[in-house]
Chain A
Amino acid sequence: QQQVKQSPQSLIVQKGGISIINCAYENTAFDYFPWYQQFPGKGPALLIAIRPDVSEKKEGRFTISFNKSAKQFSLHIMDSQPGDSATYFCAASIAGSARQLTFGSGTQLTVLP
């Protein structure tokens, strides 16, 4: 069973465009929502994260939008660059033992030059 559903599976965007990746969750006990970025041959690395007490968080060209009532959150990449081409994973965790992360299935982003 997948507790965090991510879409789309793949995304192709032109350089300078906006990339949008969406995630939805069911478990209302989740209280931390990070996004990880993974380049080929490497492990995932934390990109940006949000807690449900805010509706938006922005770091440079990356923004998380959070809709608590809809149980959805999304990653927006503004002015997408070829160097942003990677696989992006949303995740969620619950306060408590060891902060286990539940990951979405991933989105492979390709930014065309």
Chain B
Amino acid sequence: NAGVTQTPKFQVLKTGQSMTLQCAQDMNHNSMYWYRQDPGMGLRLIYYSASEGTTDKGEVPNGYNVSRLNKREFSLRLESAAPSQTSVYFCASSEARGAHQPQHFGDGTRLSIL
């Protein structure tokens, strides 16, 4: 049982390049999330998907787009990468909307923008 799988684990981009971060969960969870983690700032929500077919902005959505491809997969796209987007990105999933269910996190994608 893999839980939440993120690919790639590491990536270096040049300013202006685009890329997609992939996330898949095998726990049949309804909700999925993308966070970025920066030193001294905790985890900040970029986008989330309450259920298949829906997506909503979080706290820091600018410069990102997401796609909930199906119930298992939720991708994050950087259309034109900027150095300010250098961060560690985490995907998470949880069981049900509106319930006190824990979020399960992947091990992150470490992204550097030069």
Contact = CB atoms under 8 A, between A and B. Distances in A.
Given A99-B97, A100-B58, A43 B41 contact: no
Contact of A44 (B40, B43, B45, B101): B43
Contacts of A51: 100
A95 B101 CA distance: 11
A43 B50 CA distance: 20
A32 B102 contact: no
A102 B43 CA distance: 8
* Chain A CB within 10 Å, residue with most, of B49, B100, B107: B100
A49 B100 contact: yes
Given A99-B101, A105-B40, 12 more contacts: A6-B42, A9-B40, A32-B100, A42-B107, A46-B103, A89-B42, A89-B43, A98-B94, A99-B98, A101-B43, A101-B45, A102-B59
